[in-house]
Amino acid sequence: MLALTVLATVVVVLFSFNFTRSEKALDRSVEHEYAINDPQFRREMGVLLGPGITAGNTVQALDNGDEIFPSMLAAIRAAERTVNFETYIYWSGDVGKQFSEALAERARAGVKVNVVIDWVGGLKMESALVTRMRAAGVRVEYYRPLRWYNFSRLNKRTHRKLLIVDGRVGYTGGVGIADQWSGHAEDPDHWRDMHFRVEGPVVAQMQAAFIDNWIKTTGRVLNGEEYFPPLAPAGDMDAHLFISSPEGGSESMHLMYLMAIAASKRTLDVHASYFVPDELAVRALRMALKRGVRVRVLVPGEHIDSETVKVASRAIWGDLLQAGAEIHVYQPTMMHVKSLIADGFLVSVGSTNFDVRSFQLNDEASLNVYDAAFAAHMTAVFERDLQQAKPYTYEQWQARPWHERLTETLVLPFKSQL
């Protein structure tokens, strides 16, 4: 009996670790002291978030699977020395098969191919795909599989989406490896999303982000010129990629959002596939609205893969709508884009959602681009998506039925786990 009690206690304690945050936790608002395009803003972003901002990059925005997957697969098939690939979702289907075949072919050709798949995100992946890749020489690793020694970290997943080829070309964004992301968002079975092709010195930071989790998973370092070649300027965009993890730097994403919101003076446009901000972020948005910033948030509508996220998100809208924020509900399909555009200059993209889970529990990677032309392009994309959305008003929020309010009350305390 005593042994069972001790065992149960150990299990409960280990399980509770899955819901804890890091010791470093933000609990105060960031003050508005300078603008997005102020050199001081960029200096502090580079220092506080991690890698410094690098010049000489080019970032190409890719829309939906019809543009994203052919570009990624072409880059893999052109690899000469190394391919590093990390993803949360990897499911079976045509897309999963295409990627496994391309990765396996390169491994057979002598390219070093390293793959990290989140264990939870890969549960729907056929084991035969992994078997064939490993047989071809691909080093496939699952991030934090279900093991007794991982039990205390089971809820802390890698949500990073990174592909780096020959240390020279990188990809990041919102897509997973599944058929839902194929097509061009033409119907509810084909999701709306974006991914980004990157060249220039910032690719080395993307490589380092992948290797961060490769070390956690395997204990091995990937180094040498085949992973970190000299990188000449490839464009004129300034950018940096930074990471977060519950084991270190877990507040990086939270801090980035708070700093960007605090520095904005004119506009904030947010694609938010999962919009469940914490109290600090809501307060920061209200402060921005009070000083005259136009805040527009685009969220999924009827077509969403998590009803609990939808419920928890809607519960928060009232304060923002009353303060003057615009919330637009995307109609055609699941909208999975993650982006923030501030004052027509800063664009932040990557795997990070505007929610508590991304801020506190997930391993995430975000690319910040400081470039007016790129921001203008992303704003045009945002405006195009708005045309397929419906505005949601404060009056609608006030008139929602009692059963929706009750569900929100029940779900909201668990928003960090959604």
Given its phi and psi angles, is residue 123 left (phi above 0), alpha (psi -120 to 50 degrees) or beta?
alpha
CA 37 to chain centroid, in Å, comes to 24
- On whether the CB atoms of residues 272 and 296 are closer than 8 A, the answer is no
Reported as a pLDDT band with limits 50, 70 and 90, residue 66 is very high
Count CB neighbours of 410 within 10 A.
12
What is the bridge-based pairing of β-strands 346-350 and 194-199? Answer: unpaired
- Assign 25 to helix, strand or coil: coil
* DSSP bridge pairs for 277: none
pLDDT at 93 over 80: yes
pLDDT given at position 312: 87
What is the bridge-based pairing of β-strands 346-350 and 54-63? Answer: unpaired
H/E stretch holding 157 reads none
Instruction: Name the pTM for this structure.
Output: 0.91
pLDDT tens for 348-397 read 999 998 888 888 888 999 999 999 999 999 999 999 999 999 999 999 99
Nearest C-alpha neighbor of 162 from the set 237, 271, 91, 242: 242
Q: Strand ranges (DSSP E) for 52-178?
A: 54-63, 82-87, 112-118, 139-143, 162-165, 169-173
pLDDT given at position 414: 61
d(CA 35, CA 32): 8
Q: Strand ranges (DSSP E) for 121-215?
A: 139-143, 162-165, 169-173, 194-199
Who contacts 92 (Cβ-Cβ below 8 Å, separation ≥6)?
Answer: 124, 125, 126, 129
pLDDT given at position 150: 54
Residue with tokens 């945002």: 382
State the angle between helix axes of 94-108 and 64-77 in degrees (0 to 180), rounded to the nearest 10.
10
Mean of per-residue pLDDT scores for the chain: 89
Reported as a pLDDT band with limits 50, 70 and 90, residue 249 is low
pLDDT tens for 211-227 read 999 999 999 999 999 99
pLDDT tens for 305-338 read 888 888 888 889 999 999 999 999 999 999 999 9
d(CA 160, CA 366): 9
